[in-house]
Amino acid sequence: MKLLVKTLFGLEEVLAREIEELGGKEIQPIKRGVSFIGSKELLYKSNLHLRTALRVLQPIHIFKAKNEKQLYDKVKAIDWSWYFDSSQTFAIDSIVFAEHFTHSNFPSLKMKDAIADQFREKEGKRPSIDKVNPDIRLNLHVSHETCTISLDSSGDSLHKRGYRRGGTHAAPLNEVLAAGLVLLSGWDKQSPFIDPMCGSGTIAMEAAMIARNMPAGIKRKEYAFMKWKNYDPELWQRIYDEGVNEMRPVAPKLITAADQSNTAVELCKMASLDFELDREIEVFRKGFKRLLPISSSGTLIMNPPYGQRLHENELFALYSMIGDQLKQQYTGFDAWIFSGNPEALKHVGLKTSKRVHLLNGALECKFHHYSMYKGSKKQSRE
C-alpha cells in the first residue's frame, strides 16, 4: 500500500533515508513529505521509529472535484463502514490549494457532511465529531481539482516524544527538527557530542536517543491506527518489543549539555531521567565561554539566540564570541550552528563548509557547518 509521511521543510531527504533503512520501497521525496510503498508492518514501524516524521498517512481515495457538490457526492459514494463505525468519533484535517473552493474550510465541512449523511441514511445514526481526541483522524488534501483522502495513522503529531513533562525553556526546538539537525550533522554516534546552549535539552535528548538506537516513540502509548478495524495488536507488540531489544549501550557521558540558565539545566536533567538517559547525558550549568571540551574531536551543535530578547549589538558580540571559542577551544571538532538570524551568523567569522536551509516554525533558518581543523581562521564578515 502507498504511505505518505509528513515532515518539516528541509528534512525530506533525511526522512527518505530513514524510510529506506526501515525497508520502504519506491521512495519519493516531495515538499514537506515522503511517499513510499509499504506494508501494515512498515506503517507500524514508521510511527515507532521515524525521528523526522510528523505523521504517517495512508491515502485511501483519490478523485477529481471541481466544486463542493462534486466533492460531497464523491465522498458520500465511499463506503465509510469499511473504516469505522457510527459509534466512533472522527475529525478531518484539511489542506486546500484550489481557487474554486471559496473558503479553505468548506471542503472539510462538505466531507464531514457527506460522511455523516451516509451513516445516518444507512444506520439511522451518525458518528460524532471530536476535534480534540477523535477515534479516527482523516486527512483531506485538495490540489486544484485533485482530492486525496487519507487515514491518519499517527493521531497526535509524532514530535511529541513525551520528555517535556517538566515543561520547556524559552523557544524550544521541535523534536523532529532537533533530530533532523543531529542526523544532518553526520555524527557517528560514538564520538563526543556537545550542545553548549542546550535550553531544555531537545538536541541532547534526540542525540542520546539516536546513539542508543532508542525508538522515537518508545514512551508513546496511543497511535490512531490502534482504533482502526484492521489493527493487529500482536503485530504491534512484536514490532515494539523488537525496537526495545535493538537498543544499544553507549559510553557514559557521551553527550554534554550545558546552559547558563539553572531552569534550563533542571529541565534537561528531568528529561534525561524520564527517558533513562541520564547516564549518557552529562548536564552542566555553564556559559559557552566556561565550557571546555575534554576530548580533541567530536561534534558540536548549538542553537544560539536569534535576537528576540537581545539588543543587536549584544547579539553580534555573542556570535563573535562563539566564533572565537570554536577557533580557540574546539580544534578537531565538527561544529554546527542553527540560527534564524543570518546577519548574526556573519559575526561568527569562520568559513562555512556546508549550509542547509530549514524552517523553525515559519522562520527561515540556516544550519551552518564549520570544520574546526588546525589552522581554521577567523575571516572578515561577508
144 and 291 in a common domain: no
- Mean pLDDT throughout 102-106? 76
- Mean pLDDT throughout 27-39? 97
348 and 201 in a common domain: yes
CA dist 312 → 245, 306, 345 (Å): 49, 10, 12
CATH number of the domain that residue 320 is part of: 3.40.50.150
What confidence score (pLDDT) does residue 382 get?
41
181 and 147 in a common domain: no
- Mean pLDDT throughout 193-219? 98
Tens of pLDDT, residues 105-153: 889 999 999 999 999 999 999 999 999 999 999 999 999 899 999 999 9
Tens of pLDDT, residues 277-336: 999 999 999 999 999 998 999 999 999 999 776 788 899 999 999 999 999 999 999 999
Alpha carbon 237 to its chain centroid, in Å, reads: 24
Tens of pLDDT, residues 147-164: 999 999 999 999 999 998
Instruction: List the one residue out of 301, 280, 302, 298 whose CA is nearest residue 210.
Output: 280
- Beta-ladder partners of 141: 95, 148
Over the Cα atoms of the chain, what is R_g?
23
Domain-embedded: residue 115? yes
- Mean pLDDT throughout 208-214? 98
313 and 272 in a common domain: yes
What confidence score (pLDDT) does residue 381 get?
44
Domain-embedded: residue 257? yes
Domain-embedded: residue 190? yes
CATH number of the domain that residue 101 is part of: 3.30.2130.30
- Mean pLDDT throughout 62-68? 94
Domain-embedded: residue 191? yes
137 and 181 in a common domain: no
CA dist 161 → 22, 50, 87, 93, 158 (Å): 19, 11, 30, 21, 7
290 and 201 in a common domain: yes
Domain-embedded: residue 85? yes
Place of cell 521541535: 174
The parent domain of residue 29 ranges over 2-152
14 and 56 in a common domain: yes
The yes-or-no verdict on residue 20 having pLDDT over 60 is: yes
φ and ψ at residue 95, rounded to 5 degrees: -130, 125
Domain-embedded: residue 143? yes
195 and 139 in a common domain: no
The yes-or-no verdict on residue 72 having pLDDT over 60 is: yes
Set of cell numbers at residue 101: 473552493
196 and 135 in a common domain: no
- Residue pair 78/124 in contact (Cβ under 8 Å)? The answer is no
Set of cell numbers at residue 219: 514512551
- Which residues, other chains included, contact 273 with Cβ-Cβ below 8 Å and sequence gap of 6+? none
The yes-or-no verdict on residue 376 having pLDDT over 60 is: no
CA dist 252 → 208, 279, 371 (Å): 11, 5, 26
Among 152, 187, 204, which residue terminates a domain?
Answer: 152
The yes-or-no verdict on residue 26 having pLDDT over 80 is: yes
What percentage of the chain's residues is helix, strand, coil (to nearest 5)? Answer: 35, 25, 40
Q: How does 96-119 read in b/e, with b if 16+ C-beta sit within 10 Å?
A: bebeebeeeebbbebbbebbbebb
209 and 146 in a common domain: no
260 and 143 in a common domain: no
CA dist 291 → 33, 67, 208, 260, 380 (Å): 38, 61, 20, 10, 25
The yes-or-no verdict on residue 234 having pLDDT over 80 is: yes
Domain-embedded: residue 363? yes
pLDDT band at 380 (very low <50, low <70, confident <90, very high): very low
Instruction: List the one residue out of 355, 357, 347 whose CA is nearest residue 382.
Output: 347
Among 105, 120, 152, which residue terminates a domain?
Answer: 152
Give the count of domains, the chain.
2
Domain-embedded: residue 240? no
95 and 182 in a common domain: no
